[in-house]
Structure 1
Amino acid sequence: MLASISGLGAFLAYFATALGLVALYLLIYTLATAHDELMLIRRGVTAASIALGGSLVAFTLPLAVAIYNAQGLLDCAIWGLVGLVVQMLVYWLVRLALPDLSRQIAAGEAAPALLLAAASLAAGILNAASMTY
């Protein structure tokens, strides 16, 4: 049985690092947007949930690959930060294309939220694939 859990320490270290990076991502992302995602989600605005949820999944895809390929915790954290930067760039690019993005999401418009989620996921998939070097 001890052999079965011999990697528990490494698991906990990588999992804690990943949770820290996810928390950092959510903090930075929610500060960068012009709308308050959590307040909107609490009010039942589906568009906010679609946009934030898509972005969160899109960030965790390359983070999972970073964990898989990492040479250590620092390597994992650095590549996780790369994933964070990529997702922030995607948000700003979509916002350039749709300057009224935050107002539309706050108004519950699904189309811009779905575009943001899809762009985030596309970038997350490409980012994850690029980390397989």
Structure 2
Amino acid sequence: MFDWFAFQTGATAFIIAFAAAVAFFVAFKFIYQLVTPYHESSLIRQGNTAAAVSLGGALIGFVLPLASALSQTVSLMEFAAWAVLAGVIQIVAFIVVSRLVYRGLAARIEAGEMAAGIYLGSISIGVGLLNAACMTA
């Protein structure tokens, strides 16, 4: 027999968690694009695939630990703390890679060099996977 009350309770929790995750996703995308020295939105509109790949990697790299946090946490505040930490780690990874490890990376992405975009996107996804794996309740 279908338990309507249990469904409503679960659906409400789902909607709240999903809305919070989307809000953190949008906030991360906005902040990440402020940190990068180039304007991904403009570059992507111009057909710059390297910018799309690098931004896509950063977004996936953020969503992986976000998904892990959703499945591991028991409260919205705990989820928020993990989401903020995941965003900070992803942004620090970009700063370290673009300013210390590979100084010409930003210019190469602006120039549309796919190797640079794939490199940064891959690092972002790798950092996100490690971040997600380290999140335990």
TM above 0.5, yes or no, is: yes
Task: Name the CA distance, whole Å, in 2 between partners of 1:34 and 1:42.
Answer: 17
1:57 corresponds to: 60
Moved more, 77-86 or 90-99: 90-99
Q: 1:73 aligns with which of 71, 76, 89?
A: 76
Deviating above 3 A after TM superposition, structure 1's stretches of 4 or more consecutive aligned residues are 3-6
Q: 1:106 aligns with which of 93, 102, 110?
A: 110
Task: Name the CA distance, whole Å, in 2 between partners of 1:21 and 1:76.
Answer: 10
TM-score after normalising by structure 1: 0.95
Matched, 1:90 2:93: yes
Structure 1: give runs of 5+ residues left out of the alignment. none
The structure that has the greater radius of gyration is 2
State the Cα distance separating 1:71 from its structure 2 match: 1.6
Letter in 2 for 1:57: I
Structure 2: give runs of 5+ residues left out of the alignment. none
Task: Name the CA distance, whole Å, in 2 between partners of 1:6 and 1:59.
Answer: 28
Moved more, 115-124 or 2-11: 2-11
Alpha-carbon RMSD across the aligned residues, in angstroms, is 1.1
Secondary structure of the 1:7 match is helix
State the Cα distance separating 1:19 from its structure 2 match: 0.7
Matched, 1:119 2:123: yes
State the Cα distance separating 1:5 from its structure 2 match: 4.2
Task: Name the CA distance, whole Å, in 1 between partners of 2:105 and 2:129.
Answer: 23
Deviations 1:31-89 (A, max 9, x none): 00000001100111000000000110010000001011112001001000110011011
